[in-house]
A and B are shown apart, each in its own frame.
Chain A
Amino acid sequence: MPSIEVREISKKFGSLVAVDCVSFEVEPGEIFGLLGPNGAGKTTSLRIILDIFKPDSGTVKVLDGPMTEDKKNLIGYLPEERGLYQDMQLDRCLVYLATLKGLTEIEARKRVNDYLARFDLMDAKKKKVKELSKGMQQKAQLITTLVHEPKIVIIDEPFSALDPVNTQMVKDLLLEWRAKGTAIVMCTHQMHQAEELCDRLALINQGRTVLYGTLKDIQHQFAREAVEVQTTVGLPSDLPGVVEVQSHNGSSLLKLAKGVRPQDILHTLIEMNIPLEKFEISLPDLDEIFIQVVKESGGEK
């Protein structure tokens, strides 16, 4: 049973179509990437899932049914625009927000302390939120998202304002929560992070889903006709079936002539007795796919 089931949702604001017939599902124990350029409709889609907005049409099922007040306690949300009470002491702020997610004050206090220790924020516990650095506020916001042990986590740009150490910590945390069976929806512009973390993803542009599936499926969908080869000797310049060779960091990207399959090249290289250290079908990275798809489907709004 999917944790989130979005079926053909649409939402207009005046004459602006923010979301146009978007569908996707998020399973328990997976990290689902919701990608797209600015103004693509990602945040509106998330707000519809969270029941902040009602869709004009379509349906959303959260944990096998419509959103209820009780289900809100099972969702952790990290909005793109971070929000904490700036004039409050950090621990008081986190405890209050945790109690709004259904925890008792005692339990909330205990869990907040655990997370503060884990996130190296114990020294800042009694400081006002506005006195914290941007990165510290980001970590505090993550505590608010996770402290009530949600079944669904929805995070919008989780790595912004984090240094590499904290970025790695958040990644580890997301992987840990995925392992626990939590469904995670992640919106990000950082394609390498999505590539590294997401099991499946949807790319939205101009309110519409333009790509949807596992990372591998999507990469294969956009696979250019090329192979990446690493050898201990130099490659001959006139390899049959290859129209162009690009060298980069000791590897060579061989662009294949029309109708030539990677197997044909492999066969040729073996026949030529060229010692291979690496041979793989070259798949485009998400950055390239993103730019290509956005350009093809009409760019940013």
Chain B
Amino acid sequence: MKKFWLVFAYEYKRQVLRKRFIFAILSMPLMVAFMVGIGYLSVTLNSNPLPVGYVDPYQLLSNPKQVPEAPSSAMKQVEVIRYESETAARDALNRGEVQAYYVVSANYMSTGEVTMVNNDKVGSNASSSFGNFLKYNIASGLPETTVTRLIDGNNMIIRSQDGKRELDANNWISIVLPLLSGVLFFIAVNITGGYLLQAVVEEKENRTMEILVTSVSPTQLMGGKITGDLMVGLTELFVWILFAIFGLIIAPRFLPIDQTISIEPSFLLLLVATFLPAFIVTAGLMGTVGAMATESREAQQIAGLFTLPMIVPFWFITSIMFTPNGPIAVGMSLFPLTAPISLPMRAIFTDIPAWQIVVSIGLLWVLAVFSLWLAGRVFRIGMLQYGKRLSLHDVFHRAQEWPICLKHYLF
């Protein structure tokens, strides 16, 4: 077992201390930060700080007041200036004092009709500022909380019948995070699985394999590699989660985010229970392909055959969202290669029956054990096949050697 840990430590350190790993691990949060920054910048650039004017010829608003600035609004509210006549408003517009002005129609209370007059493109915050101003002042006689409620609009919360699960329309981060975790998982599993694939093929290509197998049993060698790879993947996810927590703590200080992020512990448990065997499955299959292939490029092409099914749930995201208990969603959450993404995705939108969770995770573990076993066997047969790809026929035709292997190479 000591050599197992030596291989494990070597594989882990070898991958984690490489520049490409550090680059990969930092590129994800940097990319997310960049995208958030771009989004914020886009909103800011589309805003216009100039006030808007309005004309209220029918005196619908008596003694109007400015809407108090919401501290966490992504879009800055602009000042709303009253003009006595449309001529005065137009003059102000022509002088560039306002970006646009609005004329409230006589039948506003029954139709909500308002006319906007502008010379140039108005900021995306102009109409929303004026809309809030109207709502705020029309409801000025009502209690403050009612006025705030009116301005904030609806907050639809969808609860399951047993009340255990709920979706809050305003708490969008809680919906996006599980989807994001699926994407992160897919990226992590592919990056680290790719490392393992490359490591095995490289050892065959540079002939280190022959030295290794005369020092360590194939089972310990492959086991150490796969476990090392698994830890590399978990390190990657762990660092990304740390970045995410850090980002969510510091982001509200710089960005107008007003969200209470609440993720249910049961959902986190489901994520861990699904991702762990899925990681092992991927590592085992990558190891198998590495042992079968003769060069890195060929190995990556073969690996695509089982990494591709993992992203299939994203193609069916609409179906999973709207019919999370439909046959497509259920089928994909039971099939081991699509389950890692589709099971947590379904869990956001529905209460998954316990039997489906048990079957899905159970099948994943079965496949995990099988892929490890297969990796060990294929590795043993294919480790010294330089320049010749191991065929499935070889793998199964030479199955008679396996009991001997087991006898000699158990820990």
Contact = CB atoms under 8 A, between A and B. Distances in A.
Contacts of B217: 69
Interface in B199-228: 203, 206-217
B211 A52 contact: no
B207 A79 contact: yes
Nearest to A145: B211
Interface in B352-411: 384, 386, 401, 404, 408
Contacts of B215: 72-73, 97, 100-101
Given A81-B386, A99-B6, A86 B206 contact: yes
Contact of A52 (B208, B210, B386): B210
A211 interface: no
A50 B386 contact: no
A84 interface: yes
B322 interface: no
A99 B6 CA distance: 8
A180 interface: no
B10 interface: yes
A161 B401 CA distance: 37
B165 interface: no
Contact of A96 (B10, B206, B209, B384): B10
B113 to A, nearest CB: 71
Given A99-B6, A100-B3, A52 B214 contact: yes
Interface residues on B, range: 20 to 34
Contact of A144 (B10, B206, B211, B213): B211
A86 B404 CA distance: 33
A66 to B, nearest CB: 8
Contact of A100 (B6, B14, B206, B408): B6
A83 B207 CA distance: 4
Contacts of B7: 100
Contact of A85 (B206, B210, B213): B206
A85 B202 CA distance: 9
A290 interface: no
Determine chain A's interface SS by DSSP, over half rule.
loop
Given A52-B384, A83-B207, A144-B211, A100 B401 contact: no
A54 B214 contact: no
Contacts of B384: 47, 52
A196 B207 CA distance: 29
A73 B214 CA distance: 9
A72 B211 CA distance: 11
A58 to B, nearest CB: 14
A77 interface: yes
Contacts of A110: none
A152 B14 CA distance: 30
A75 interface: yes
Contact of A83 (B3, B6, B211): B211
A82 B215 CA distance: 15
Interface string A41-76: 000000100111010000000000000010011010
Contacts of A84: 206, 208, 211
A94 B90 CA distance: 83
Contacts of B213: 52
Interface in B298-312: none
Interface in A83-127: 83-86, 88, 96-97, 99-101
A227 to B, nearest CB: 47
A258 B384 CA distance: 52
Contacts of B10: 96
Contacts of B211: 77, 79, 83-84, 97, 144
A75 B7 CA distance: 19
A220 B208 CA distance: 41
Contacts of B404: 54
A210 B211 CA distance: 29
Nearest to B380: A52
A18 to B, nearest CB: 13
Interface string B217-252: 100000000000000000000000000000000000
B383 to A, nearest CB: 8
A111 to B, nearest CB: 15
A99 B8 CA distance: 13
A144 B216 CA distance: 14
Contacts of B14: 88
A83 B208 contact: yes
Contacts of A50: 214
Contacts of A82: 207
Contacts of A47: 384
B206 A72 contact: no
A200 to B, nearest CB: 23
Contact of A77 (B3, B208, B214, B216): B214
A216 to B, nearest CB: 32
Contacts of A97: 211, 215
Interface string B3-17: 100110010001000
A77 B384 CA distance: 15
A75 B214 contact: yes
A73 B216 CA distance: 9
Contacts of A81: 207, 210, 386
B101 to A, nearest CB: 68
Kindly name the residue among A50, A51, A69, A88 whose own CB sees the greatest number of chain B CB atoms within 10 A.
Answer: A69
A86 B214 CA distance: 19
B209 A83 contact: yes
Contacts of A83: 203, 206-211
Interface in B139-178: none
Nearest to B207: A83
A15 to B, nearest CB: 13
B219 to A, nearest CB: 10
A46 B393 CA distance: 26
Given A54-B401, A79-B210, 8 more contacts: A47-B384, A51-B408, A52-B210, A82-B207, A83-B203, A85-B206, A100-B212, A144-B211
Q: What are the nearest 6 A-B pairs in CB distance?
A: A83-B207, A83-B208, A100-B215, A81-B207, A79-B210, A77-B214
12 contacts: A50-B214, A52-B210, A52-B213, A77-B214, A79-B207, A79-B210, A81-B207, A85-B206, A85-B208, A97-B215, A100-B215, A100-B216
Interface of B: 3, 6-7, 10, 14, 203, 206-217, 384, 386, 401, 404, 408
Interface of A: 47, 50-52, 54, 69, 72-73, 75, 77, 79, 81-86, 88, 96-97, 99-101, 144
